[in-house]
Amino acid sequence: MNCTAQLAGKKFNHVIMNASGAHCMTAEQLYEIYHADTAAIVTKSCTLQPRQGNPEPRYTEIPLGSLNSMGLPNLGLHFYQNFVQEAQQDKPIFISLAGLSLEENLEMLQQLNQHSTTAIIELNLSCPNLPGKPQTGYDFQRTQQVLEQVFSFNKLPLGVKLPPYFDIIHFEQMAAILNQYPLQFVTCINSIGNALHIDPATDTTVIRPKNGFGGLGGQYIKPTALANVHQFYRLLNPSIQVIGCGGATTGLDIYQHLLCGASLVQIGTQLMIEGPGVFTRLLQELQEVMQEKGYTSIDQFRGKLKYWEQQNPTT
């Protein structure tokens, strides 16, 4: 069974990795997922300086997923840069960047370019949890400005992490902007921003920051994630690959992300719930699904989602 993949000029032994934010802030967590059955790993989104993030409790499991308002706690760019240098790189490592301003993103990227890091860059345009800071990916003009400046000097393999979109015109507008730049990939989707969960026993919100509003992850968001993966797969230049992220808890979920056009699939909430053993289970389950359906490699079905008419030709 061949589950290998290629992205940003690198080879991947299979297609499953962590999502930024899940089990990837400290050296201990990063080494744990690096040595687990991951095809690659991505770091927690970082800023130039270390940050404490929002007050706790700021992450919780809810019935079908998770709610978080972490507020970008991280150990700072240099820590993650050093981690990449130290790790024996037998699998690709992504560094996720989430500067609080355009200038901060450019400064971090400049440093990474100067040091010729071996990491792939995932530029996060979609953190929903910073009080007073809008999600860049929902401001189309701003996104264009960011990409214009980034690609005025960047030579590293780079992609962007997008927020979920919900309107066809927004997919088209964003794809038209992204298609102007030499992006290697887009990651769809970040959490669904500013959701609210209420504890039915106490009529109370369940996380402390922002009156309980936080990013929604897990099974709640799989249909939205699949829709975003497939729309961008259809609308982007073939040179821009899609990384799927959102709601995968089984091998079948991974398979469906691939069917929608994803080249790799990231695991967030389910990694938080199950720990790094999740990757072994998901890879095994993916291979079982492929076997049942008679496939021996991912190329045979990636992006080959069938539309209703194809399955019902005479109606």
What is the x/- site pattern for ligand HRO, positions 229-268, by CB under 6 A? ----------------------------------------
From the list 13, 33, 36, 15, the residue with the least C-alpha distance to 23 is 33
Residue 126 or 184: the one with the smaller Cβ distance to ligand HRO is 126
DSSP symbol at 230: H
Minimum CB–partner distance for residue 127 and ligand HRO (Å): 4
Q: Report residue 70 as tokens.
A: 């972490």
The stretch near ligand HRO (CB under 6 A) out of 69-77, 107-115, 241-249, 282-290 is 69-77
Regarding 159 and contact with ligand HRO (CB under 6 A), the answer is: no
How many angstroms separate the CA atoms of 54 and 71, rounded?
5
Residue 58 or 230: the one with the smaller Cβ distance to ligand HRO is 58
Residue 45 or 263: the one with the smaller Cβ distance to ligand HRO is 45
DSSP symbol at 197: -
The catalytic residues are: 126-127
Binders of ligand HRO among 25-64, rule CB under 6 A? 45
DSSP H or E run through 85: helix 77-86
Burial of 70 (0-12, 13-18, 19+ CB in 10 A): buried
CB atoms within 10 A of CB 200: 7
Regarding 68 and contact with ligand HRO (CB under 6 A), the answer is: yes
Regarding 218 and contact with ligand HRO (CB under 6 A), the answer is: no
Contact 41, 34 (CB under 8 A): yes
Q: What is the CA radius of gyration of the chain?
A: 19
- Residues in contact with ligand HRO by CB under 6 A are 21, 45, 68-72, 98, 124, 126-129, 190-191, 215
